[in-house]
């Protein structure tokens, strides 16, 4: 029997979960139009993390597609993208939002941000990278146009849309509900996400963080 563990990620915050190889992770955009920054690293060695750049190189694509794997910086598959109920717009080019970006946009430097939310959530499961990996930004609708420019658009995902991933190794998985409310990527307001972990094994330690 499929036993599901559910983790709610409040708006403008992040959560970390331990996932075993073979388990299925569903990432749900609960209210729609909400970007999810996703990070992952090997449970066996924290310096082997999901690399958006290595994934682009390995898949020869700018954006993730169902059927493809995501790769670590050592070119090993760490997650496979197995299903997607959203219109399919996702990003693999942007770093997470961070204090310097919000300062540049004229906001207070204490504005909630995915970088700090990632670090806080990851630290709770003993992952403290010196360099912040570029995330996979599920539901982020920032396509490349014919002129080679990145366009910044609102996420296309509807309430309840979800992406499904399979863990290809024992790993630590971190997702942040993007805190960006100065650009239109998250629609009219920032909202929360939900993680559902299914399959064999127990959900391990959970760590969270938000401002
Ligand atoms: Zn963000």
CA 71–ligand 1 middle distance (angstroms): 22
CA 177–ligand 1 middle distance (angstroms): 7
CA 97–ligand 1 middle distance (angstroms): 4
- Split at pLDDT 50, 70, 90, the class of 109 is confident
Amino acid 1: pLDDT: 42
CA 1–ligand 1 middle distance (angstroms): 36
CA 156–ligand 1 middle distance (angstroms): 16
Give the pair of three-digit tokens for residue 149.
């420019």
Distance in angstroms (rounded) separating the CA atoms of residues 177 and 197: 17
User: What's the chain's length in residues?
Assistant: 211
Chain centroid, CA 118 distance in Å: 10
Strand order, beta sheet including 36-42: 136-138, 36-42, 171-177, 13-19, 206-210
Q: Is residue 112 predicted with pLDDT exceeding 70?
A: yes
How many CB atoms neighbour CB 106 within 10 A? 7
- Split at pLDDT 50, 70, 90, the class of 207 is low
Tens digit of each residue's pLDDT (9 = 90 or more) over 144-174: 999 999 999 999 999 999 999 999 999 999 9
CA 127–ligand 1 middle distance (angstroms): 19
CA 38–ligand 1 middle distance (angstroms): 10
CA 3–ligand 1 middle distance (angstroms): 30
CA 197–ligand 1 middle distance (angstroms): 23
CA 150–ligand 1 middle distance (angstroms): 17
CA 98–ligand 1 middle distance (angstroms): 7
- Split at pLDDT 50, 70, 90, the class of 206 is low
Residue linked to tokens 């299925």: 24
Bridge partner residues of 161 (DSSP) = 29
CA 76–ligand 1 middle distance (angstroms): 26
Distance in angstroms (rounded) separating the CA atoms of residues 156 and 32: 8
Q: Is residue 201 predicted with pLDDT exceeding 60?
A: no
CA distance readout (Å), 178 to 29, 55, 73, 134, 204:
11, 21, 24, 14, 24
In the predicted model, what is the mean pLDDT of the chain?
94
CA 112–ligand 1 middle distance (angstroms): 8
Please give the average per-residue pLDDT across 173-201, as a whole number. 93
Q: Is residue 210 predicted with pLDDT exceeding 90?
A: no
């Amino acid at each position: 029997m499929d036993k599901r563990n559910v983790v709610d990620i409040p708006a403008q915050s992040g959560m970390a979960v331990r996932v075993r190889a073979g388990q299925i992770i569903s990432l749900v955009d609960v209210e729609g139009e909400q970007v999810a920054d996703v990070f992952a690293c090997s449970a066996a060695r924290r310096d082997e993390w999901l690399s958006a750049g290595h994934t682009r190189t390995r898949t020869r694509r700018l954006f993730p597609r169902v059927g493809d794997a995501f790769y670590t910086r050592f070119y090993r598959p760490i997650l496979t993208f197995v299903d997607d109920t959203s219109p399919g717009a996702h990003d693999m080019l942007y770093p997470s939002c961070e204090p310097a970006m919000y300062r540049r946009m004229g906001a207070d430097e204490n504005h909630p941000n995915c970088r700090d939310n990632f670090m806080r959530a990851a630290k709770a499961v003993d992952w403290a990278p010196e360099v912040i990996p570029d995330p996979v930004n599920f539901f982020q609708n920032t396509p490349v146009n014919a002129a080679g420019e990145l366009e910044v658009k609102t996420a296309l995902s509807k309430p309840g849309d979800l992406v499904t991933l399979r863990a290809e190794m024992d790993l630590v998985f971190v997702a942040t509900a993007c805190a960006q409310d100065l650009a239109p990527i998250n629609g009219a307001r920032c909202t929360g996400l939900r993680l559902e972990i299914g399959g064999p094994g127990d959900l391990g330690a959970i760590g969270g963080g938000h401002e």
